[in-house]
């Protein structure tokens, strides 16, 4: 079930548009904002609200990289693996994170604190390597810098 708040926000988006299905991406983002990810049940709820089939909504949800169809940790680390970050050594950043957290790309720590994902590119190429944690950008990354950063995300 969508919460009243989610429903209210989605209906407010629909008002701007010629027909409800246009709000599909917005609706997915709203639900994810509140729950961290989009479950099968949420797909169904959104489909009902927007007068779409479940499959149509899932087709949209699975198309976009920043809509998560599986649960993620409380904090999502996005390591840029773009070509400029490759040149500047993102692999050692990834190796360090992976070892420290005990997870690989696509996995979540057992305490649910971090999910590690690749991303390309963050537009920080002149300060590579770069990554994001949740909505925060970090660049000119070094192992020492990452160590400090992680402590800020509980």
Partner 1 sequence: MEKPLTKNITPGSSPLNLKEYLQAGGYSGTTKALKEMSPAEVTSLVKASNLLGRGGAGFPTGVKWSLVPMDEASLRPKYLICNADEMEPGTFKDRYLLEGNPHQLIAGMIISAYAIQAREAYIFLRWAYKKAETALRKAIGEAYDAGYLGKDILGSGFDLDVYVHSSAGRYICGEETALLNSLEGKRAVPRTKPPFPAVSGLYGRPTVVNNVETLSWISHIIENGAEWFKGLSLTGTGGTKLYGVSGRVKNPGIWELPLGITMRELLEEYAGGMADGYSFRGALPGGASTDFLIQKHLDVKLDFSTVAAAGSRMGTGTMIILDDKTCPVSFIHNIEKFFALESCGWCTPCREGLPWVEKMLASLEEGTGKMEYLEILKFHTKYMGPGNTFCAHAPGAAEPLQSGLNYFYDDFVRHIDEKKCPWR
CA distances from 70 to 2, 11, 56, 73, 130 (A): 17, 25, 18, 10, 25
Place of tokens 């009902």: 48
Q: Considering the complex, state which of residue 20 and residue 113 has its C-beta at the smaller distance from partner 1.
A: 20
Binding site for partner 1 (CB under 8 A): 16-18, 21-26, 28-29, 59-60, 63-67, 81-84, 86-88, 119-128, 132, 135, 137
Q: Considering the complex, state which of residue 111 and residue 135 has its C-beta at the smaller distance from partner 1.
A: 135
What is the rounded CA–CA span in Å between residue 73 and residue 143? 22
Q: What does the block give as tokens for 23?
A: 């709000």
Q: With beta carbons less than 8 A apart as the criterion, state whether 129 and 119 touch.
A: no
How near is the Cβ of 80 to partner 1 at its closest, in Å?
9
How near is the Cβ of 75 to partner 1 at its closest, in Å?
15
Q: Considering the complex, state which of residue 22 and residue 150 has its C-beta at the smaller distance from partner 1.
A: 22
């Amino acid at each position: 079930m969508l919460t009243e708040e989610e429903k209210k926000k989605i209906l407010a988006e629909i008002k701007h548009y010629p027909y409800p299905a246009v709000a599909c991406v917005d609706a997915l983002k709203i639900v994810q904002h509140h729950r961290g990810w989009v479950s099968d049940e949420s797909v169904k709820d959104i489909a009902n609200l927007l007068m779409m089939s479940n499959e149509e909504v899932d087709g949209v949800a699975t198309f976009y990289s920043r809509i998560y169809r599986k649960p993620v940790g409380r904090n999502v680390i996005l390591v840029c693996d773009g070509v400029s970050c490759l040149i500047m050594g993102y692999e050692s950043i990834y190796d360090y994170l992976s070892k420290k957290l005990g997870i690989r790309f696509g996995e979540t720590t057992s305490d649910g604190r971090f999910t590690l994902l690749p991303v390309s590119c963050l537009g920080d190429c002149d300060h590579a390597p770069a990554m994001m944690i949740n909505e925060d950008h970090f660049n000119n990354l070094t192992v020492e810098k990452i160590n400090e950063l992680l402590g800020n995300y509980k």
